Amino acid sequence: MIINIKTKLYFVSLSIFIVLIDQFTKYLIFYNKKLFINKDFLLFKLDFVKNYGAAFNIFSGSRVFLSLISIFFSILLIYLIFRKNTLNSFELYSYGFILGGSIGNGIDRIYRGFVVDFINLNIIDFPVFNIADISINIGFIILLYNIFKNNR
């Protein structure tokens, strides 16, 4: 159980770090398309996709709804990090990663009207994604691990 406010600030700082990396990479791709697009790496290539929806482009065109969802979940996660005193490290890491990704994609939706996706996997046919999406998925994996670990 973690109660220390400095420890909780660490996890919010982790979220801010994720947001900065996410926004920086999106900035690089958005303003330097010709330099980075179609660069092929071993497992992935860089692409440029305007995603007007959520995961797998669901709710496409629902900018206001998705922006409100991002804001709601960001506030909820900040509340959970600071107010809930029964959290363990796994839960805090999970919330920190999800919060960083939610804010990163939320900034895009509010500022641009779409989310910039740019990582395109070569090894499987998968939708194009970004750093915020990776962060959200890492957070969910940690959360699922914690749930299964505690149910044993």
Whether the CB-CB separation of 94 and 2 falls below 8 Å is answered with no
Q: Give the residue among 35, 50, 99, 108 at the shortest CA–CA distance from 73.
A: 99
Whether the CB-CB separation of 109 and 19 falls below 8 Å is answered with no
Locate tokens 């969910």: which residue? 140
Tokens of 101: 């990704």
Distance of alpha carbon 141 from alpha carbon 80, whole angstroms: 18
Distance of alpha carbon 150 from alpha carbon 70, whole angstroms: 28
SS3 assignment, position 49:
strand
Q: Which of 22, 40, 125, 133 is catalytic?
A: 133
* 47 catalytic per annotation: no
Tokens of 95: 């919330």
* 22 catalytic per annotation: no
Residue 140 CB-density burial (10 A; 0-12 exposed, 13-18 middle, 19+ buried): middle
Q: Which of 22, 40, 117, 125 is catalytic?
A: 117
What amino acid positions are annotated as catalytic residues? 117, 133
